[in-house]
Amino acid sequence: MGRTLLDKVWDAHAVRELPNGQTQLFIGLHFIHEVTSPQAFAMLRDLDLPVRYPGRTYATIDHIVPTDDQARPFVDSLAEEMTESLTASCRDYGIEFYDLISGEQGIVHVIGPEKGLTQPGMTIACGDSHTSTHGAFGAIAFGIGTSQIRDVLASQCLAMSKPEVRQIKVTGALQPGVYAKDVVLAIIHALGVKGGVGYAYEYAGPVIEAMTMEERLTVCNMSIEGGARFGYINPDATTFEYLRDREFAPAEGFDVASDYWRQIASDPDSSYDDIVELEGEDIEPMVTWGINPGQSVPVSGRLPVPEEHPDEAASYQEALEYMGFEAGQSINGTPVDVTFVGSCTNGRISDLRIASQLARGNKVAKGVKALVVPGSMSVRRQAEAEGLHEIFQEAGFEWRQAGCSMCLAMNPDKLQDREVCASSSNRNFKGRQGSPTGRTLLMSPAMVTAAAIAGEVVDVRTTMSAAQS
């Protein structure tokens, strides 16, 4: 019987079985940011413990950074205090810190891959649930809380229970206008927001194999929205070519490394705890209508009628009331007030290129506030080298500095009151984008850009075919 990638990577990092039956797992790469680590460093200081492997932790700031005026000290004194706290801890413990003056700052899940820090076969932890993103490289990557950050800093290990593995095969091919974001939203819709609890998701099949690394990052990013703490894709030639010549990728030993990475992929005769198949051709551009990422419909579809779904009726009713939508209504044509292209889900250069193609020669609809926020300083530089910022600005989009921005409302980019936001981010929870009554519609960057121009939710496939004719 073959072994899955999870089996192989888990075993290579297992230090011992703990008295309670969990595994003491070595963590090969640890990322930290300003929100969830200050308290962990305080705990470490209370225990008078050093950082065991300072060279295996990398820091950046992303959640609280303003994306317009980044002059220090920040206007928000609390944001300034958090930044100072992380700066001091990195200095005291000898941790590499990609801060604003480094020119290398960005969302932690964007800079790890782009610097080549994230590699196949690693165990990767970060105090952030979207750490599953890094699984796109064939790593076992997962989010942790602050007490666990303390554990990694102190011991470079975590006490973990091994998950089961569900293989999700996406067969066939995608229609034009359908993107990685639509694939993962369709998966979460099919399996539910808690369907993945206790599982690692292994994404496979022709649609996944045909994806670029950046598309794979989008899919793995949202594993946690389906309840799966881990999501990964077996490394292949696409993975290796992405890594070649990156700053932290092996240089001289690259071919040896590639051979090793190929070996850690799941064996063809692996057994899985569960297997699910989705047909790629059936996936349409997806839009969320509710208050969790599983509450979505194809853009051509209609919102559910709660009475027809007894098990979900109460949740659907609560979501409809919060969103101010009617059961059975169409999502297409929903007016939007704000649009946001960015985040660790969709703030990479390929996302900005797609958005810019739709923005080119068009104008943001009157009354719509439209943000484009690159995921890292490096993405921003690349976009500007390609002239994308000028396309966006001419079309009336705001071109911002790198950060988490309007994904989560910890910085000045926030919704107001009941505003509706078409967003390329990952969560549509109540209040997520900064207003306790704000409303989020998750969709692909292409769909977000089309919505910005139309002033309402539209089917980007129609926009694209109109542009071609």
Partner 1 sequence: MNDTIIEKISGTAVPLRGDDIDTDRIIPARYLRCVTFDGLGEHAFEDDRKQDPDHPFNQERFDGAAILIVGRNFGCGSSREHAPQSLRKWGIEGVIGQSFAEIFFGNCNAMGMPCMTVDADTCEALFVAAEADPPPNFEIDVSDCTIRFGDSSVQGSMPNGPRESFLAGTWNATAVLLEAADHVDEVASKLPYIKGF
Binding residues among 160-179 for partner 1 as defined by CB under 8 A: 161
What are the start-end ranges of the H helices in 156-293?
180-191, 206-209, 213-221, 237-243, 254-263
Residue 130 CA to residue 141 CA, distance in Å, equals: 9
Among 66, 106, 116, 121, binds partner 1 (CB under 8 A): 121
CB 432 within 8 A of CB 322: no
Residue 159 within binding range of partner 1, rule CB under 8 A: yes
Q: Of the ranges 214-222, 254-262, 330-338, 390-398, which one interacts with partner 1 (CB under 8 A)?
A: 254-262
Residue 183 within binding range of partner 1, rule CB under 8 A: no
Nearer to partner 1, 301 or 431 (CB): 431
In whole angstroms, what separates CA 202 from the centre of its chain? 16
Residue 156 within binding range of partner 1, rule CB under 8 A: yes
CB 235 within 8 A of CB 138: yes
Tell me the CA distances in angstroms from 365 to 1, 218, 338, 438, 455, one per residue in order: 57, 27, 10, 20, 5
Among 111, 157, 170, 368, binds partner 1 (CB under 8 A): 157
Nearer to partner 1, 4 or 36 (CB): 36
Residue 136 within binding range of partner 1, rule CB under 8 A: no
Residue 87 within binding range of partner 1, rule CB under 8 A: no
Among 256, 275, 305, 385, binds partner 1 (CB under 8 A): 256
CB 165 within 8 A of CB 271: no
Of residues 262-281, those binding partner 1 (CB under 8 A): none
Residue 326 CA to residue 162 CA, distance in Å, equals: 42
Among 277, 308, 329, 429, binds partner 1 (CB under 8 A): 429
Residue 93 within binding range of partner 1, rule CB under 8 A: no
Among 39, 238, 357, 382, binds partner 1 (CB under 8 A): 39
* The two structure tokens encoding residue 319: 């979501």
Nearer to partner 1, 35 or 388 (CB): 35
Residue 20 within binding range of partner 1, rule CB under 8 A: yes
Q: Of the ranges 103-111, 146-154, 329-337, 385-393, which one interacts with partner 1 (CB under 8 A)?
A: 146-154
Of residues 326-385, those binding partner 1 (CB under 8 A): none
Q: Which residues contact 47 (CB under 8 A, 6 or more apart)?
A: 154
Among 3, 7, 54, 85, binds partner 1 (CB under 8 A): 85
Q: Of the ranges 272-280, 323-331, 387-395, 426-434, which one interacts with partner 1 (CB under 8 A)?
A: 426-434
Nearer to partner 1, 99 or 215 (CB): 99
Least separation in angstroms between CB 420 and partner 1: 18
CB 287 within 8 A of CB 440: no
Amino acid at 384: E
Among 51, 208, 217, 410, binds partner 1 (CB under 8 A): 410
Amino acid at 185: L
Size of the site for partner 1 (CB under 8 A): 81
What are the start-end ranges of the H helices in 324-442?
343-346, 349-359, 377-385, 388-395
Least separation in angstroms between CB 24 and partner 1: 6
Gyration radius (Cα) of the chain, Å: 21
Residue 257 within binding range of partner 1, rule CB under 8 A: yes
Nearer to partner 1, 305 or 314 (CB): 314
Q: Supply the DSSP symbol for 265.
A: S
Residue 75 within binding range of partner 1, rule CB under 8 A: no
Residue 288 within binding range of partner 1, rule CB under 8 A: no
Q: Where are the beta strands (DSSP E) in 43-171?
A: 57-60, 96-98, 123-126, 140-143, 157-160, 164-171
Asked, as a colleague might, if the bond just before 298 is cis with ω within 30 of 0, I would say no
Nearer to partner 1, 231 or 285 (CB): 231
Nearer to partner 1, 347 or 438 (CB): 438
Least separation in angstroms between CB 60 and partner 1: 16
Q: Which residues contact 266 (CB under 8 A, 6 or more apart)?
A: 2, 3, 4, 5, 6, 202, 234
* The two structure tokens encoding residue 246: 């990156």
* The two structure tokens encoding residue 403: 């950060």
Among 93, 254, 272, 325, binds partner 1 (CB under 8 A): 254
54-77 burial, b at 16+ Cβ within 10 Å, e below that, comes to bebbbbbbbbbbbbeeeeeebebe
Of residues 207-236, those binding partner 1 (CB under 8 A): 224, 227, 229
Nearer to partner 1, 102 or 147 (CB): 147
Among 54, 198, 301, 396, binds partner 1 (CB under 8 A): 198
Nearer to partner 1, 113 or 227 (CB): 227
Residue 231 CA to residue 286 CA, distance in Å, equals: 20
Least separation in angstroms between CB 170 and partner 1: 23
In whole angstroms, what separates CA 133 from the centre of its chain? 6
Nearer to partner 1, 13 or 348 (CB): 13
Residue 467 within binding range of partner 1, rule CB under 8 A: no
